[in-house]
Amino acid sequence: MMIKCSRCNNKAEYVLVDYRHEIVDEGEVFCGHHAFDENREKCPCCYDYWIEVYDGDTKCDVKLLPTYPQGTLDSEGCCSEHP
């Protein structure tokens, strides 16, 4: 199964999550081009932290990388998962 970017028709590679890697709201997903647009933030600790995506209640076997809404990351620019 392929999930498309919320902004274009490219394959989604990132999902919008909060500080604890919980998928945010509508579960917006983005391709590599759009992942960090609109002031979304990238955490240096979890470049390989794969998040399983659910379609309703069903796991759809897609794993995406995290992208964070502006202001989510802490003063060190990291999520809850510090190395």
The residues binding Zn ion (CB under 5 A) are 5, 7-8, 10, 31, 34, 43, 45-46, 79, 81
Rounded Cα distance, 65 and 30, in Å: 10
**Minimal distance in Å, beta carbon 63 to Zn ion?**
15
Amino acid at 50: W
By beta-carbon proximity to Zn ion, the closer residue of 31 and 62 is 31
Beta-strand (E) ranges in 20-74? 29-30, 51-55, 58-67
**Minimal distance in Å, beta carbon 20 to Zn ion?**
10
Grouping H, G, I as helix, E, B as strand and the rest as coil, residue 25 is coil
Grouping H, G, I as helix, E, B as strand and the rest as coil, residue 58 is strand
By beta-carbon proximity to Zn ion, the closer residue of 43 and 53 is 43
Rounded Cα distance, 10 and 33, in Å: 9
By beta-carbon proximity to Zn ion, the closer residue of 39 and 57 is 39
**Minimal distance in Å, beta carbon 44 to Zn ion?**
7
